[in-house]
Chain A
Amino acid sequence: MSDPVLSVRNLVTQFETRAGIVTAVDDVSFDVGPGEVLGLVGESGSGKTITGFSILGLIDKPGRIAGGQIVLNGQDLRQLSPPDLHKLRGDRVAMIFQDPMMTLNPVLRIDTQMIETIRAHRDVSKARAREMAIEALGLVGIPSPAERVRTYPHEMSGGMRQRVVIAIALMLEPDLIIADEPTTALDVTIQSQILSEMQKLLAERQTALIWVTHDLTVVAGLAHRVAVMYAGKIVEQGPVDALLDHPAHPYTQGLIASIPSSVPRGQRLVPIKGMTPSLINLPKGCAFAPRCPKTSDQCLSARPEQENLGSARTLRCFHPSEVSS
């Protein structure tokens, strides 16, 4: 495999709250290669968004990146000066936010927001930037982009706004796009349409993609690799087919068992019992122990470290299922 576009090592991101320190991202490591799609999966609150913000250096007080490396094209982003980081954001790494309704500034027209992005990174005239913006909107399937570009966000539907945000992400041909549950707010048909269009564009350009979602079914059709997050940690990762067909971690198994299509007709779905733990005062042992069917004394007293299982799989569990390889 060629050198990874992004290589995250032992990333730790914490928030200092009145109730105590919240470790939202805890010892997270993964790589994404050119043209590769990494699905980052986990329940709400597991640290997916904060992982994305950490990569972009967008963690605000009371949060901070407490450790680890974030290496983009061989360059450690944590060592960059703020101006260098500004140059990189939106240009080499683009992020698509979770909620298309809240992402675009409501008092600025679409063209203003697209042109300012282009001109922050490219030395082009306003007229040229406008052409580029219109071109990008056309590419993501927005009809009559030259007129639509002059409207305000509230004059567009949610699906259209999400396309605008995707167009902005693609516009400067970044090396990496972080897409944070970009389609969950949309209805299913639009969702799959946007997904497949995006997939095509990215493959053509060899852009790396981190696709954040809580929905395993979306990941199955899109990602090359999957990383499963639980309580700030990646508990299992590997190639999509291997991981979905032979999940080793009890949490991954639970996620798969709770997908409607994974269970033969007539058989009951098995939701994972219990709730996502509060990240303050996590138990001493494995964070999943209170909900895990395999909990042992060891699970309650020690935290499982990350192991390499070979064939690009990693795992954090004392009692994994056998992985046939």
Chain B
Amino acid sequence: MLAYLIRRFGQAFLVMAVMAAIVFFGLYAVGNPVDLLINPEADLAEQEETIRRLGLDKPVHVQFGYFLGGLTQGDLGTSFVHNRPALELILSRLPATLELAFLGILLAVILGIPLGMIAGLKPDAPYSKVIMTGSVIGFSTPNFWQGLMLIMLFAVFLGWLPAGGRGETVDLFGIPVSFLTWDGLGHLILPAINVAIFKMSLVIRLTRAGASEVALQDYVKYARARGLSPARVLGVHILKNIMIPVVTVLGLETGNVIAFAVVTETVFAWPGIGKLLIDSIGLLDRPVVVAYLMLTVFLFVMINLVVDIAYSILDPRVRVKRGKS
């Protein structure tokens, strides 16, 4: 297990390093942030002073050397725009994104799995057709459009929920969260639904495919032949076998939501890291973009690890194979 963890983290750091290098030089090639950052009215001395302060007067490989040097001390650089450490900037925005992502995924799971089970086990029933049609729509319409429709309906037309922003927050272990205040929760619901719709459609499809396949297995009939209650057959014998693909895909999707919540965060003006990324790319704020991508890779690796562990808990056969390899 330890060797396995070391290997996983080794891979992660390699990917992070390669990624950092590509983005670093890529952004250098795209344009010079100085043009965007410096007040054109300022005099020459002032301009040069700024350039020197940001380290942009050095050749790019020297700048990269400084960057690597900083990395060894846990310093991912300082934002050109905000003049704060990039990592600190990202971490200050991360709770908003995590909150949004996890509530979205949670909604997708607690609604998607039962709906998918129904559609898989009673494929001919009218309500199953409704579920599947809904999931096709959720799957195939653009995310931003769904977000706009939600705002139109619940914020503009019905006036039930606010259209954007994070609302009131309270500190939970020193981290500001929205979901513990009524106002914050009200602000969180629409963006969370926006995140949830697509994932839920995915969960419904996976669950339905799994349920209709697993329901035909001998072990399900055998469970019934032993006189188990329908609830137990469904909730244990069928569900546990379906969970394997669902957990795998959901884990990857959680990474995606965190990394690419850009659309939802933009539509709902949700102050998360997705919005920060878009703004930073626009301003060629290289340290923030690089730090963001490294953090994202790290999160992906961590989530994959959690998925792997969940996977081996769910499927005992995987444990054996890993033990052997």
Contacts and interface: CB of A to CB of B under 8 A. Distances in A.
Contacts of A107: 240-241, 244, 314-316
Interface stretch (A95-103, A183-191, A233-241): A95-103
Interface stretch (A115-123, A222-230, A266-274): A115-123
Contact of B228 (A53, A109, A116, A152): A116
Contact of A104 (B222, B241, B314): B222
Interface stretch (A6-14, A17-25, A85-93, A294-302): A85-93
A226 B288 CA distance: 81
B90 to A, nearest CB: 39
B309 interface: no
A162 to B, nearest CB: 13
Contacts of A116: 226, 228, 232, 236
Q: Which of B224, B225, B232, B236 has the most CB of A within 10 A?
A: B225
Interface stretch (B112-120, B181-189, B200-208, B213-221): B213-221
Contact of A103 (B222, B230, B244, B315): B222
A154 B226 contact: no
Nearest to B237: A105
Contact of B219 (A89, A103, A155): A103
A124 interface: no
A105 B219 contact: yes
B39 interface: no
B306 to A, nearest CB: 19
Nearest to B316: A152
B83 interface: no
A154 B316 contact: yes
A107 B314 CA distance: 7
* Main DSSP-derived SS at the B contact region: helix
B211 to A, nearest CB: 14
**Size class of B's contact patch?**
20 to 34
Interface in A51-95: 53, 56, 58, 86-91, 94-95
Contacts of A315: none
B223 interface: yes
Nearest to A154: B317
Contact of A120 (B222, B228, B314, B315): B228
A106 B228 contact: no
A94 B225 CA distance: 7
A136 interface: no
B320 A97 contact: no
Contact of B232 (A89, A91, A120, A168): A120
B241 A97 contact: no
A105 B227 contact: no
Contacts of B226: 89-90, 94, 116-117, 120, 168
A88 B314 contact: no
A108 interface: yes
A99 B218 contact: yes
A105 B317 CA distance: 12
Contact of B227 (A99, A104, A120): A120
A117 B244 CA distance: 24
Interface in A110-143: 116-117, 120-121
Interface of A: 53, 56, 58, 86-91, 94-95, 97-99, 102-109, 116-117, 120-121, 152, 154-155, 168
